[in-house]
């Protein structure tokens, strides 16, 4: 039997990733692994680790191999049925929480909720909010349901193709929709994630167009919309918001300084 140190030395993966995979294969915490580098690893766990390390070396996201990813300080289960939560999406949550600040008991809709990280985080950070998480993938909703239960969040889950079955009007709509252009070379690195969660037509704006244009009839007066978008879509998305009747349209930049989240208010709603 080999030790933790020996097994880690035998892989070309970055040390932090190899450690997380080995901890996963052993079913122990990363702290327990680091605390006892001399501990012997059984053959079965070593074989599991070898397989995980091999899949990681071929490009599978670490989050899928571990079955989880941290988002806004909490652990979310993920599977290849959902996009892996990205750090920049925490900005969308920050913007949403700011928009909710002066509302006592808002109704919130998260469109294309995937693993549920946005909807569940909003429900937990804003306990008086009634949050609906909508996705057209039943598999994704199952992942979100498991996360809501695990984290103790009261979120209503709905099988809905964007607005088709969301029900009622909301005070805030949020979405991190697919926004990558079909021919974007960057997709080569994302081939393990669901393409339908990433790609939105030739210019990447197909779903954002539907979401922004459809928002006014699903918002209460004084409601707001906040969406995540691609690195070069800031001006186009502001334009979509303006055309749909939103005011006070603002774009926030992510930690990399890239325009990433657009938000706006709707003063009066169409009937």
CB of 70 to ligand GLN, least distance (A): 16
Nearer to ligand GLN, 130 or 187 (CB): 187
Q: CA-CA distance, 157 to 168, in Å (whole number)?
A: 14
Nearer to ligand GLN, 11 or 176 (CB): 176
Bridge partners of 69, per DSSP, are: 76
CB of 198 to ligand GLN, least distance (A): 5
Nearer to ligand GLN, 6 or 203 (CB): 203
CB of 207 to ligand GLN, least distance (A): 9
Nearer to ligand GLN, 178 or 223 (CB): 178
Enumerate binding residues for ligand GLN (CB under 6 A).
86, 176, 178-180, 198
Q: CA-CA distance, 91 to 119, in Å (whole number)?
A: 14
Nearer to ligand GLN, 171 or 254 (CB): 254
CB of 141 to ligand GLN, least distance (A): 17
CB of 224 to ligand GLN, least distance (A): 20
Q: CA-CA distance, 213 to 103, in Å (whole number)?
A: 24
Contact 218, 270 (CB under 8 A): no
């Amino acid at each position: 039997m080999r030790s933790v140190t020996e097994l880690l030395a035998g892989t070309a993966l970055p040390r932090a990733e190899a450690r997380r995979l080995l901890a996963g294969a052993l079913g122990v915490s990363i702290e327990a692994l680091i605390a006892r580098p001399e501990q012997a690893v059984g053959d079965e766990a070593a074989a599991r680790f070898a397989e995980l390390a091999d899949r990681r070396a071929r490009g599978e996201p670490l989050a899928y191999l571990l079955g989880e990813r941290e988002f806004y300080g909490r652990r979310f289960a993920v599977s290849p049925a959902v996009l892996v939560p990205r750090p920049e999406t925490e900005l969308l949550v920050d913007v949403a929480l700011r928009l909710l600040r002066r509302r006592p008991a808002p109704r919130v809709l998260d469109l294309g909720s995937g693993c549920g990280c946005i909807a569940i985080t909003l429900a937990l950070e804003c306990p008086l909010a009634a949050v609906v998480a909508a996705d057209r993938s039943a598999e994704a909703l199952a992942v979100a349901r498991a996360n809501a239960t695990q984290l103790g969040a009261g979120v209503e889950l709905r099988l809905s193709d964007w607005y088709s079955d969301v029900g009622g009007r909301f005070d805030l709509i949020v979405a991190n929709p697919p926004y990558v252009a079909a021919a974007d070379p960057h997709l080569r690195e994302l081939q393990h994630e669901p393409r339908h969660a990433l790609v939105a037509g030739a210019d990447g704006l197909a779903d954002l167009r539907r979401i922004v244009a459809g928002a006014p009839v699903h918002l209460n007066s004084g409601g707001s919309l906040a969406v995540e978008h691609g690195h070069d879509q800031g001006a186009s998305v502001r334009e979509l918001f303006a055309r749909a009747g939103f005011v006070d349209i603002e774009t926030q930049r992510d930690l990399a300084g890239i325009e990433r989240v657009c938000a706006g208010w709707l003063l009066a709603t169409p009937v």
